Amino acid sequence: MAGAAVISRNFRKWLQLGVATVGVTSLLGTLVALSYIHNVRWDLSPGNRFTLSDHARQVLGRVHQPVKVLAFIRTEDPRNLYIKDLLWQVARECPSLTYDVVDVNRHPALAAQYGVSSYGAAVVESGGKRSDFSNPSESLLMSAILRVIQESKHVYVLTGHGECAITDSDRHNGCSLLREALTMDSYKVDALTLLAGAEIPADAGVLLVPGPRSDFLEGETAVLARWLERGGKMLALVDPFRAPRLVSLLGAYGIEVGANVVLDLDNRLSGGEAFSVAIGDLNSQHLVSSTLESPPLFSLAAVVAARADDSKGRRVTTLLKTGPRSWASYDPRILEGADIGFVAGRDVNGPLPVGVESVQPAGAGAEPGAETRILAFGDSDFATNRFLDYLGNKDLLVNSVNWLAREDQLISNRPQQQVPGKNQFFISQSDGESVFWSAVVVQPGLFLLVAVGLFAWRRFGP
């Protein structure tokens, strides 16, 4: 009987162990299944390089038709993990998108069928359209998707008055990155001159005027006026003391560009020159400015104000303002190195508007319900190759074009072109002063007080 009892106890122990093992295995299997169904990721990489940007989500939200992506790779390519993860994220965000990763060495016939001869190439297809690109990244993939799901609108960039050229790749003065940024959002971008009586093409979705240095001819101004009267959409980047005829034309639509230069010593780069400032007062009610994660960086900006006119049905909105301790100098010699300083009775205290919108019904001959829409900023340098990738400059530029072109769904934040270890670090003068006082004065002062207190307690205490 005792032996039977021992066997019975051992059997129960083994039975309990077996049941517990099955239970733990079932629990782990359930957890694994739930992790696949309800996947949660924490991206701790610099700049969240493994998380889709707001812009990517906006683009994928426009996909309402089947889209297929083929990525051609080779075994052991270090880019494979990033490509596969990117495509997985995109397909998870957009059920209409499917993808396949093809090893060129294992499927040479398929690669030849698509005309692919290089590793890291990708093909996007939808509705009979195709877009190819190399070295897949989020930005390139979103651009390719846009090209196959929608028709591209045309942006014309005015030239002939010393404007920043979209064909110029000069690091400081060119605007080739401007063209690249707009092309990535599926716009056709071309230069346009109004000399010799040329008219603005009928397919112009947006006209961009990137900082003219010389004045317009009367005939050119008349062409612009007629086009705006018919409901044109214009993005005007106007620098201080430039293009008076263009300034006068903007004035007819309630936009006043001041003959001055804005200075904001608190919001300049810490220890930097006084003219390049971060514009931190962003209108939270306007889609263009409210979507900026970082403030734009302007250099040598002019005040740009706007006035409404109920009799013309004109509505105006201020998008950007400088800081409360800024001011505008009306002395043009300040651009030649004159002393910086506020002059009472001549200069104007801030905060000051540097970016506005004017919208009013189009004139006779326009389509019913058409509106003339102008966005004007008192600086063109932020759109140049030198400044475009800083802070919120690229988003401000491209979102402005999207707003004018009625592509509201594309207005968002784009992934920053950053390299780990070399990411941007912008600290304003006021931030620098705060860090100085905190690190050099306050913290040492606290330690000194503690030390004096301990000395006094030991010396004179009980």
The verdict on whether omega for the bond into residue 351 sits within 30 degrees of 0, i.e. cis, is: yes
**Calpha distance 327→60 (Å, rounded):** 43
Weakest-pLDDT range from 108-112, 237-241, 339-343? 339-343
pLDDT over 90 at 358, yes or no: yes
- For the cut 70, the answer to whether the pLDDT of residue 5 exceeds it is no
> If we measure between CA atoms, which residue out of 143, 118, 116 comes closest to residue 131?
143
Residues 6+ apart with CB under 8 A from 122: 69, 70, 71, 72, 83, 132, 133, 134, 136, 140, 141, 144
Which residue in this structure is represented by tokens 């949660």? 40
What residue ranges do the domains of the chain occupy? 46-148, 153-410
DSSP 8-state secondary structure symbol assigned to residue 438:
I
Q: Model confidence over 263-296: pLDDT tens digits?
A: 888 777 765 667 788 888 899 999 999 989 889 9
Give the amino acid at 11. Answer: F
Specify the pLDDT at position 306. 92
Is the confidence at residue 321, as pLDDT, over 80? yes
What sign does the CA torsion over 92, 93, 96, 98 have?
Answer: negative
Q: pLDDT digits over 408-429, tens only?
A: 888 887 776 544 444 455 565 5
**Please, what sign has the CA dihedral across residues 414, 420, 421, 422?**
negative
Question: Are 289 and 283 within 8 A, CB to CB?
Answer: yes
Segment 232-255 shows an average pLDDT of 92
Q: Which CATH number does the domain 46-148 belong to among 3.40.50.300, 3.40.30.10, 3.30.1360.40, 3.40.309.10?
A: 3.40.30.10
Please state which CATH number belongs to domain 153-410: 3.40.50.880
Query: Residue 248 above 90 pLDDT?
Result: yes
Q: Specify whether the CB–CB gap between 279 and 358 falls below 8 A.
A: no
Q: Distance between CA 67 and CA 89 in Å, rounded?
A: 15
